[in-house]
Amino acid sequence: MAAEEDPDRTVELLWRESRDAAPRQGLSVGAIVRAAVEIADADGIEALSMRRVGERLGFTSMSLYRHVPGKAQLVDLMCDAVMGDVATDTATNAVTSTTAGTAGTAGDGVAARAPAGIPAGTSAGTSADASHGWREALEGWARRGWALCRRHPWLAGVRGTRHVPGPNSLAHFEYALSTVAGIGLKPAEMIAVVGLVGRFVDSEAARAAEITTVERHTGVSEEEWWGARDSLYEKLHLYPTLTHIWEAGGYDEPEDSFEFGLRRVLDGVEVLVRERDVSRDESTWCAMCGTSMDQAETGRPRAYCSRACQQRAYRRRHRSAPRPGDPPGRA
């Protein structure tokens, strides 16, 4: 396997565990990543190349390959680097909001830089600030991801399901999962909820980035382009519903697509949470297979529906690599 295709090598770089290329003065993984982010912020991800990064730093592209094997791994490093800002915001928000309500205690949240993802005084798996509720916490996470994508529009152009997440990306994902912990959702539903919200943010970011890119390349704004489509508008009388909406001013003051969509997505999640809240006192679900099972009136609560599921869970924990899923948006 070529070095640039080796995901384990990417993991080493993301956690800076590599020892095979000591940093030269003015050239290091961090310097390369910062220069790459600056290029992508200014000109888009399509303009990024190892040659351009080398020129920006005053080195040849071959010098860069001693530190970063290729563009694919560089992109993973860039994504995790900018995710550090939102991970820090998330941890700070969680700590600040909790300490404000409970004097002398450390807040829940995740650290941005530490691979373990846990700041001092907190523990893994703790939920987001309960005083604000799961919806507010999850909404705040989505908004921070949206703001990150607006600061770095090129994130929307990073495609594919096999980008290796780094410590900042996993901290971001960990916090999102913590916002829906302890509210009655099954583990698979927690992942699905976070993925749903994250993909919504990604979709809106991709649309916004496309508009920005087209405007930059053509010099014509979105409003100007659509405002000049008189030949199209002359055809609208053929479509009565669209004509009614047009004449009623539906396009004059459109809903903000991000605000409208985020509310509706969270409304849907809230329906699921209420359904689980109604039934979770009467039964629970097997942590392995999701089968509904009744709980005994006395004794320790059951986590698995059968001994077989308990054994499968044990084997999965001790023999399988962690599967954090597809961290959302980078949102």
Is 21 a member of any domain?
Answer: no
Is 310 a member of any domain?
Answer: yes
Could you give the residue ranges of the DSSP H alpha helices within the chain?
7-14, 29-43, 50-57, 61-65, 71-101, 133-151, 167-179, 187-218, 222-227, 230-233, 240-247, 257-279, 307-319
Domain count, the chain: 1
d(CA 236, CA 233) in angstroms, rounded, equals 5
DSSP SS3 for 49:
coil
What is residue 293's predicted lDDT score, i.e. its pLDDT?
73
CB 129 within 8 A of CB 108: yes
Is 241 a member of any domain?
Answer: yes
What is residue 241's predicted lDDT score, i.e. its pLDDT?
95
d(CA 171, CA 124) in angstroms, rounded, equals 10
What is residue 161's predicted lDDT score, i.e. its pLDDT?
79
Torsion angle defined by CA atoms of residues 191, 196, 197 and 201, in that order, rounded to the nearest 10 degrees: 130
Is 116 a member of any domain?
Answer: yes
Is 305 a member of any domain?
Answer: yes
d(CA 217, CA 228) in angstroms, rounded, equals 18
* Assigned token pair, 85: 């800002």
CB 175 within 8 A of CB 181: no
What is residue 243's predicted lDDT score, i.e. its pLDDT?
92
What is residue 216's predicted lDDT score, i.e. its pLDDT?
85
DSSP 184: S
> What pTM did the predictor assign?
0.70
Point out which residues pair with 330 in neighbouring strands. 328
**Which residue bears the tokens 């962690």?**
322
**Which residue bears the tokens 């969270």?**
266
Q: Which domain holds residue 230?
A: 83-331
d(CA 87, CA 145) in angstroms, rounded, equals 9
d(CA 113, CA 156) in angstroms, rounded, equals 23
**Which residue bears the tokens 């995790």?**
80
CB 94 within 8 A of CB 129: yes
Is 316 a member of any domain?
Answer: yes
Residue 97: give its domain's CATH number. 1.10.357.10
pLDDT tens for the chain, residues 1 to 331: 444 568 888 888 888 754 445 555 678 999 999 999 999 999 999 999 999 999 999 999 999 998 999 999 999 999 999 998 775 555 555 544 433 333 232 222 222 222 333 222 233 334 444 434 999 999 999 999 999 999 999 998 888 778 888 999 999 999 999 999 989 899 999 999 999 999 999 999 999 999 988 998 899 999 999 999 999 999 988 999 999 998 999 988 889 999 999 999 999 999 999 988 776 544 567 877 777 776 666 667 778 888 888 888 887 776 654 455 444 444 4
What is residue 162's predicted lDDT score, i.e. its pLDDT?
81
Is 98 a member of any domain?
Answer: yes
* Angle at 37 (CA atoms; ends 34, 42), nearest 5 degrees: 130
Point out which residues pair with 294 in neighbouring strands. 283
Is 181 a member of any domain?
Answer: yes
d(CA 49, CA 3) in angstroms, rounded, equals 17
